[in-house]
A and B are shown apart, each in its own frame.
Chain A
């Protein structure tokens, strides 16, 4: 089955208006906060990593019809089933039918605040020098990936300039495929909006994007 993301929406038209939530609103309903808690707890279990979760979410077939936390729940359910922690029958029935399988780490309530405050930094020590320097012109990979990637379609095969060198970071493409952290240099690349959107863009507007080194080739 080819990999299909439904989340690569940059530049797409016709998706309806952006619904503007009022300042200070966090959850629309109590179930959303439970989905956040479940996702956090299971994310800490060591059964998968955050990039595998992002892949699970963006490949949900009905992604475009789901709200933010519906997508989170769908991704969680997909991974729970894929890892044999829950069966589809149990999810449909709303109750467990088999003994729970052990996981390597259990996040307890007293650890949650510290865990959230710590975050999950992805920066790693360098093992090789950066290939690109500030101000260098680069072109992005033109070929669609058949796995989770952060290079959106609207930025494929486009020429930009290295604007910042951000250090090596966990490479989401590898991490999502279970190939380890595979840290790669991350850069901010700036593109002229007209390079991306042609005359539909106002002259002088620019788009900055954080790209890992494997997405880039020298011009």
Chain B
């Protein structure tokens, strides 16, 4: 994963009592997509903070 240099990195080391998920950043060029179309861009990795959501061009 390549991120802009000004991206702040936050690590969450969960002890398991509270579970966390990441709300993926909305990919560029998706302003017109509805919830259902956006959901196809969400990946496991984008919800655990180790990847970005897919762009529409990738699907």
Contacts from A to B (Cβ < 8 Å) = 10, 23-24, 122-123, 150, 152, 155, 166, 169-170, 172, 186, 188, 193, 202, 204-212
C-alpha spacing A212/B17, complex, angstroms: 10
Given A23-B44, A204-B8, A205-B8: A172 touches B15 (CB 8 Å cut-off): yes
> What is the chain A residue whose CB lies nearest that of B5?
A202
**Contact indicator A166/B18 (Cβ below 8 Å):** yes
**Could you say which residues of chain A place their CB within 8 Å of the CB of B21?**
none
**Could you say which residues of chain A place their CB within 8 Å of the CB of B43?**
23
**Could you say which residues of chain B place their CB within 8 Å of the CB of A207?**
10-13
User: 15 more A-B contacts (CB under 8 A) besides A122-B17, A186-B18, A210-B13?
Assistant: A10-B13, A23-B45, A24-B44, A123-B17, A150-B15, A150-B16, A166-B17, A170-B17, A172-B17, A205-B9, A206-B10, A206-B11, A207-B13, A208-B12, A209-B12
Which of these, A204, A205, A210, contacts B15 with CB under 8 Å? A210
> What is the chain A residue whose CB lies nearest that of B43?
A23
The residue among B9, B10, B15 with the most chain A CB atoms within 10 A of its own CB is B15
> What is the chain A residue whose CB lies nearest that of B44?
A23
> What is the chain A residue whose CB lies nearest that of B11?
A207
C-alpha spacing A166/B45, complex, angstroms: 26
Given A23-B43, A24-B44: A208 touches B17 (CB 8 Å cut-off): no
**Contact indicator A209/B15 (Cβ below 8 Å):** yes
**Could you say which residues of chain A place their CB within 8 Å of the CB of B14?**
210
C-alpha spacing A209/B13, complex, angstroms: 5
C-alpha spacing A172/B18, complex, angstroms: 13
The residue among B13, B43, B45 with the most chain A CB atoms within 10 A of its own CB is B13
C-alpha spacing A205/B17, complex, angstroms: 24
Which of these, A169, A172, A204, A208, contacts B13 with CB under 8 Å? A208
Instruction: Give 3 nearest A-B pairs by CB, closest first.
Output: A150-B15, A210-B15, A207-B11
Which of these, B11, B18, B45, contacts A210 with CB under 8 Å? B18
Given A23-B45, A205-B8: A186 touches B13 (CB 8 Å cut-off): no
> What is the chain A residue whose CB lies nearest that of B8?
A204
Q: Mind listing 6 A-B residue pairs with CB under 8 Å?
A: A150-B16, A169-B17, A172-B16, A186-B18, A205-B11, A208-B11
Residues 1-39 of B contacting A (Cβ, < 8 Å): 8-18
C-alpha spacing A187/B2, complex, angstroms: 32
**Contact indicator A152/B13 (Cβ below 8 Å):** yes
